[in-house]
């Protein structure tokens, strides 16, 4: 990818919005870009040197492999989000990122190169700190939900958040493109696949939603908010 294309990809990214044109061109020299189609792995923690990634386009899921070899979905990330070694500290996590939208584009930096850029750009350092803080806050909220909410409340909350972020209004209904399995959702809300299926069926029987492998249709958003 040439420098002009890299510049085009980066200049509208929220993390880089604080940089001048000259500083952004400097960033382009150390940036690598990756593209992926649905189902392709973008990043594997054990296969690459320490890097930080920013998601430019599309949606991915972060999957962790536990000591028993089970795959657990930790997070769903979208345009502008950070992943990889984003804390600037060593990590022994065994995880990978996989594309769940039709097309994904992300850019990455070697951590030693990125640290040098941050040292020279205090405004970028502050912006980066804010982004890491938001990521940690999201994790904190997830654990708080686990402690203070039951499974049904966590499931409803997950659907509401998903609807707000990606829902497509259609008359009195809202449609979601369904790229997650019931097991994926179970991992995200710390439940089981059987319970998630049961909750989907309950809401379907009550006329609140309908679902298939490809889409979820929220038929009664008011009932979902109760």
Q: What pLDDT score does 209 carry?
A: 94
CA dihedral (142, 167, 86, 103) positive or negative:
positive
> How distant is the alpha carbon of residue 142 from its chain centre?
14
Map out the domains of the chain with their CATH numbers: 3-147 (2.60.120.10), 149-225 (1.10.10.10)
Closest CA to 99 of 53, 131, 138, 144: 53
Q: Which residue has the higher pLDDT, 152 or 118?
A: 152
The answer to whether the beta carbons of residues 52 and 113 sit under 8 Å apart is no
Radius of gyration of the chain (CA): 19
Q: What pLDDT score does 1 carry?
A: 57
- Mean pLDDT: which of 115-119, 171-175, 190-194 is highest? 190-194
* pLDDT band at residue 160 under the 50/70/90 scheme: very high
Span of 3-17, 55-69, 187-201 with lowest mean pLDDT: 3-17
pLDDT tens digits, 26-84: 777 777 888 899 999 988 876 655 778 888 889 999 998 888 888 888 889 988 888 87
Span of 20-24, 103-107, 117-121, 165-169 with lowest mean pLDDT: 20-24
Distance CA 197, CA 212 (A): 12
Mean pLDDT of the chain: 84
Interval 143-149 mean pLDDT? 82
Phi/psi for 93 (5° steps) reads -65, 140
Interval 100-128 mean pLDDT? 85
Distance CA 115, CA 72 (A): 30
Distance CA 175, CA 159 (A): 11
Q: What pLDDT score does 39 carry?
A: 92
In which element (H, E) is residue 26 found?
helix 21-28
- Percentage above 90 pLDDT, the chain: 37
Global pTM reads 0.79
Question: Cβ contacts of residue 11 below 8 Å, gap of 6+?
Answer: 24
Distances (CA, A) of 42 to 9, 180, 201: 17, 17, 33
């Amino acid at each position: 990818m040439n420098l002009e294309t890299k510049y085009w990809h980066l200049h509208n990214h929220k993390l880089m919005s604080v940089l001048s044109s000259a500083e952004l061109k400097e960033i382009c020299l150390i940036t690598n870009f990756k593209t992926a189609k649905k189902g392709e792995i973008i990043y594997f923690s054990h296969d690459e040197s320490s890097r930080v990634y920013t998601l430019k386009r599309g949606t991915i899921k972060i999957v962790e492999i536990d000591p028993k070899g089970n795959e657990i979905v930790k997070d769903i990330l979208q345009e502008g989000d950070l992943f990889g070694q984003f804390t600037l500290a060593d990590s022994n996590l065994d995880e990978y990122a996989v594309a769940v939208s039709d097309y994904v584009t992300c850019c990455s930096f070697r951590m030693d190169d990125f640290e040098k850029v941050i040292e020279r750009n205090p405004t970028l350092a502050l912006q980066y700190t804010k982004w890491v803080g938001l990521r940690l806050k999201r994790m904190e909220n997830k654990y708080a939900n686990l402690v203070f909410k039951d499974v049904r409340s966590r499931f409803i909350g997950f659907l509401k958040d998903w609807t707000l972020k990606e829902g497509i209004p259609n008359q009195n209904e809202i449609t979601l493109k369904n790229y997650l399995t019931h097991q994926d959702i179970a991992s995200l809300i710390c439940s089981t696949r059987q319970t998630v299926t049961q909750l989907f069926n309950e809401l379907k029987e009550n006329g609140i939603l309908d679902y298939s492998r490809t889409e979820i249709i929220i038929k009664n958003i008011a009932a979902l908010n109760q």
